Amino acid sequence: MRILFYRYHSICETDIQKAFDQLGIEVKTLWNDQICEDSEKISDFLMKNEVNAVFSVNFFPFLSDVCNVFGLIYVSLVVDSPVLELYSKSVSNKVNRFFIFDRKLSEEISHFNDKVWHYPLSGGFYKERLFNQKNAYELKKYRHDIAFVGSLYTEKDPFMELTFTDDYIKGYLEGIMAIQEFAYGAWIIDDAVSDEIVEKTASGSKKFYYGKEGDYLTKRVVLTQLCMGNHVTAMERQDTFEYLSKRFNVSLYTGSNTSKLPKVHAMGLANSTEEMPLIFKESKININTTSKAIRTGLPQRIFDIMSCQGFVLSNYQEEIPEFFEIGQEIEVYTCLEELADKCSFYLEHEKERKEIAQNGYKKVKDKYSYIKKIPEMFVTAFER
């Protein structure tokens, strides 16, 4: 089997490529920054290189349109939310095969295409070389009581760019987001935001973007998932780490501004391939705060941490009990008080903490590794 792997430097692409190699799948690679989403360059490549399918992490409408012309199956492994490209008119192309990790999102996209599968994410197991080549002194710098790697979302908060002509609407939306912030396992925004409020918010803001003619991208999706979802994520992460840092030693690896978190240890950015796995493995507790736009599913970060034998303490998500046993393979919290209590407990109980980390590692390796999930995905893509 020969596939075209269209890459854009997603952090999970390296693990996927290594799985392709181990599975004996022949891969031709094109990079996003090489062709800049140029349909003619993709078409020229496909005319010169025979492939059986095209694959990408997340969905690229121009790529789908080209595959539609060539009659090539296009497999999209969706690992983020929101992915606004999923609401383009190209999503309806018959060549598309969507594997989407968030059940709520997969249900939405299935209205536009019947080749949509709810599909949990995976972990890569290629870090042993990295772990083994570091001595105890080198590993010491990555050891933390409580660690978080990722954005605080303060620099990608489109809600802050909206302008409001009605203070009531702005206040109402802020009130709904305050409730959503700690409503773990429930997405309340859609039910609480009426079509009238969506329309007034969109019409009152010069920077409000939504779909082109023929697309499925609505003003509601942009407001609730992108603008409000990202803003609630920024609120939650700021409040969570402020709360934790007053009680524990908390280390944040982030490029976001941490000036409002004076008690955290701001570590700067971590290299995703050379440093991040070491942080996950060596830290006693790895916090996962799921982006609010991921309404039911498990983010890639949980699988990344577990595949490095790290201990995961995550906010509760609706789908977690479907894939992991809480208290045995992962730990969760449903409020900040419970988060603090569990941090205290697992910092003091190393045996229990390590057992959970190892159980999570084994579960991901046995059931959710790329080596196991990629063949399943391609069999499904070609059979259906």
pLDDT tens-digit series, residues 209-251: 777 888 999 999 999 999 999 999 999 999 999 999 999 999 9
Kindly state the helix (H) or strand (E) to which residue 101 belongs, with its residue range. none
Model confidence at 206, in pLDDT bands (50, 70, 90)? confident
Average pLDDT, the chain: 95
State yes or no: pLDDT of 165 exceeds 80: yes
Model confidence at 262, in pLDDT bands (50, 70, 90)? very high
State yes or no: pLDDT of 135 exceeds 80: no
State yes or no: pLDDT of 137 exceeds 80: no
State yes or no: pLDDT of 277 exceeds 90: yes
pLDDT tens-digit series, residues 301-347: 999 999 999 999 999 999 999 999 999 999 999 999 999 999 999 99
Model confidence at 134, in pLDDT bands (50, 70, 90)? confident
Give CA angle at 11 (8, 15), nearest 5°: 105
Give CA angle at 332 (327, 337), nearest 5°: 115
DSSP lists the bridge partners of residue 339 as none
pLDDT, mean of residues 278-305? 97
Cis peptide upstream of residue 82 (ω within 30 degrees of 0): yes
Prediction pTM value = 0.95
E-assigned strand segments in the chain: 2-7, 26-31, 53-57, 73-78, 96-100, 116-118, 146-149, 250-253, 265-266, 285-288, 312-315, 331-333
Domains of the chain: 2-122+369-383 (3.40.50.280), 128-367 (3.40.50.2000)
Q: What are phi and psi of 179, to 5 degrees?
A: -70, -45
